[in-house]
Chain A
Amino acid sequence: MMATKKVRLSAFFLLFCAIGPAASGQPASSDNPRTGPISGYMEMHLNAPVTREDGDAILDFHRFVLLFNHSFSDRLRFIGELEIAHAFVEGLEEAGEIELEQAYIDVLINPAFNLRGGMMLVPVGIINERHEPPVFNGVERPFVDTVIIPTTWFEGGAGVHGRLGSVLSYRAYVMAPLDATEFSADEGLRGGLQKGGRSNIRNAAYTGRLEYTQVPGLTVGLSGWRGDSGFNIPRLNPTVGLVEMDGRYRRNGFEFRAQFARVFIGDAARLNDALTLLIGVNPNIARQLQGYYLEASRLFSVNRWGHEVSVFGRYESFDTQFRLPAGALPFPEFDRHAWTAGGAYFLDPDVAVKVDYTHQGSAGTLRRAPRTLNVGLGWWF
């Protein structure tokens, strides 16, 4: 009965998303869209667990993001990105938040070498720098890009970027480090983001990315992060490293994506000991975390208005306790995997109504991993 109600609610939300633009009887876009100095993207989600034990359905205006840009000259440019997450902001921890995800100055010298400083996105993985809703498949971002790579990952810093020849691009930044005292066993690095607000920079972190684009339609990326992260703990300074590889290939409407990431946390045993003294409970932080996913999708043009449909399937494996310090036992519920299948209806290349079904699982037996029906409306302008 409960499940039927959730399916009805999902169907209603989906219908609402689809009917709005179609009701006008006009194509959803023209060849000359009107744009202004402000751009942005928004996404609203309905997450409906399939069974009662997994809780109630949630309707969430997840992200409302505005991008601003200003060119002082051909060589000097400002770009800013301001996000309101979960629609409503108040002083409590579980409420929404306002985040300044980007606010930097680019000094554009030549395509091979440019300078950047300010609040910047960490150049790791596929999603962190390409997170506009019509760009990725699925209502929610992949789990690997949530608990292994903590998107949206941004921090203050400075660096260089450019393109070397016709096939290789790079970025290399020095940024504020992570805070190891906020890591956790289930969400990995996510709690340790300093987010550019009075970030402690006793230590610097170094990050970079290389992208190779020799073959048309193919992009291969390699990225990394390294920084000492123990400024909140006396006489302990764990080094955090992350290596990531990814690939995307698109041809004739098909697209394939793959991503692999592994996190290394140095001195994890001493970090757990120190945090046990501070908070009274051993947080069981791993010395290695690992995740990967494989995804295939197909895009079709479906009608005279230029609407499109995509379908996709994705398999993910993500373990936030991949390797524990000697003597510690892993909690098998953190060794997780997920199958996600679904699609999107594009009323415009920048407006997508998304639906998917996510079936999570884990190596443990204590807690059943959730199964969720998700519906989303996302757009870029």
Chain B
Amino acid sequence: MVVLMFQVKGRPRTVAAVVFGLALMAGMVVSLIGQTPPAPRAVRVTAERFSFTPSEITVAPGAEIEFHLRSEDTAHGFRILGHQVDIAIPKRGRGEAIVRFVAPGPGKYTFECSRMCGAGHSFMRGTLIVKADAKGVR
């Protein structure tokens, strides 16, 4: 154990105030360093001709979601309409695509396959439901 000792010149009240202020700042710094942002919620989505599973995902406004997307067959795409999310999903056995998304305000948002995947490509859509009483990700 190491004990540091030092002498502060000046009036006792002033010294006490300085010590208190330093302690407060140190506490804040330690608190900020120790505080890590909440981890994004992982949502695993499987794509196959011609559906996403799950096809309906419910989250709270502001929740950060990390989509893990994999395919059971050919390459697909994952695009959330009206937002900057549009990512290719690799073919079966070629790993997964990961994309993060912060849920906007309450509402229903459509996601769809953005890569032509077969005769029923247009059926491949789902809904991201953002509502205030959603607990985490469902």
Question: Footprint of B on A, CB under 8 Å?
Answer: 29, 31-33, 35, 39, 67, 69, 74, 77, 79, 81, 101-102, 106, 108, 110-111, 114, 116, 121, 129-132, 134-135, 161, 163, 165-166, 169, 171, 213, 216, 219, 250, 301, 306, 308, 348-350, 380
Interface residue stretch chosen among B12-20, B26-34, B60-68, B121-129: B121-129
A308 close to B93 (CB less than 8 A) = yes
Residue of B nearest to A380 (CB): B74
Question: Footprint of A on B, CB under 8 Å?
Answer: 46, 49-51, 53-56, 71-75, 81-82, 88, 90-95, 108, 110, 115-123, 125-127
CB-defined contacts of A250 to chain B, threshold 8 Å: 72
Cα distance A64–B120 in the bound complex, in angstroms? 18
A166 close to B55 (CB less than 8 A) = yes
A135's partner among B49, B75, B88, B90 (CB-CB below 8 A) is: B49
Cα distance A288–B48 in the bound complex, in angstroms? 35
CB-defined contacts of B55 to chain A, threshold 8 Å: 111, 163, 166, 213
Question: How far is the CB of A259 from the nearest CB of chain B, in Å?
Answer: 17
Residue of A nearest to B82 (CB): A74
Residue of B nearest to A77 (CB): B122
A134 close to B74 (CB less than 8 A) = yes
CB-defined contacts of B126 to chain A, threshold 8 Å: 111, 163
Known contacts A67-B119, A349-B73, A380-B74: A130-B50 contact under CB 8 Å: yes
Known contacts A111-B126, A132-B49, A380-B118: A301-B74 contact under CB 8 Å: no
Residue of B nearest to A211 (CB): B51
Question: How far is the CB of A116 from the nearest CB of chain B, in Å?
Answer: 8
B116's partner among A67, A111, A163, A306 (CB-CB below 8 A) is: A67
B119 close to A161 (CB less than 8 A) = no
The 15 sampled A-B contact pairs (Cβ below 8 Å) are: A32-B88, A110-B108, A111-B110, A116-B122, A129-B50, A130-B119, A130-B120, A132-B49, A163-B56, A169-B123, A216-B53, A250-B72, A306-B93, A348-B91, A350-B91
B54's partner among A106, A135, A166 (CB-CB below 8 A) is: A166
Cα distance A35–B117 in the bound complex, in angstroms? 11
- For the A-B complex, the count of residue pairs with Cβ-Cβ distances under 8 Å equals 98
A111 close to B119 (CB less than 8 A) = no
A132 close to B119 (CB less than 8 A) = yes
Residue of B nearest to A123 (CB): B120
CB-defined contacts of B46 to chain A, threshold 8 Å: 216
Cα distance A54–B39 in the bound complex, in angstroms? 66
6 smallest beta-carbon distances between A and B, as pairs: A166-B56, A39-B116, A349-B91, A349-B92, A111-B127, A129-B120
B121 close to A165 (CB less than 8 A) = no
Cα distance A20–B54 in the bound complex, in angstroms? 38
CB-defined contacts of A32 to chain B, threshold 8 Å: 88
A161's partner among B88, B94, B123 (CB-CB below 8 A) is: B123
B119 close to A31 (CB less than 8 A) = no
CB-defined contacts of A171 to chain B, threshold 8 Å: 123
Residue of B nearest to A163 (CB): B55
Cα distance A77–B75 in the bound complex, in angstroms? 20
Known contacts A135-B73, A348-B91: A69-B121 contact under CB 8 Å: yes
CB-defined contacts of B125 to chain A, threshold 8 Å: 108, 111, 163
Cα distance A165–B123 in the bound complex, in angstroms? 14
Cα distance A116–B119 in the bound complex, in angstroms? 14
CB-defined contacts of B56 to chain A, threshold 8 Å: 163, 165-166
A135 close to B122 (CB less than 8 A) = no
Cα distance A349–B74 in the bound complex, in angstroms? 6
B73's partner among A31, A77, A134, A166 (CB-CB below 8 A) is: A134
CB-defined contacts of B127 to chain A, threshold 8 Å: 111, 163
Cα distance A213–B48 in the bound complex, in angstroms? 12
A74 close to B92 (CB less than 8 A) = no
Question: How far is the CB of A100 from the nearest CB of chain B, in Å?
Answer: 13
Residue of A nearest to B120 (CB): A129
A81 close to B81 (CB less than 8 A) = no
Cα distance A130–B72 in the bound complex, in angstroms? 14
B110 close to A69 (CB less than 8 A) = no
B122 close to A106 (CB less than 8 A) = yes
Known contacts A69-B116, A130-B50: A31-B74 contact under CB 8 Å: no
A301's partner among B93, B110, B116 (CB-CB below 8 A) is: B93
A35's partner among B93, B94, B95, B115 (CB-CB below 8 A) is: B115
Cα distance A306–B108 in the bound complex, in angstroms? 38
Question: How far is the CB of B87 from the nearest CB of chain A, in Å?
Answer: 12
Question: How far is the CB of B76 from the nearest CB of chain A, in Å?
Answer: 11
Residue of A nearest to B115 (CB): A35
CB-defined contacts of B116 to chain A, threshold 8 Å: 35, 39, 67, 69
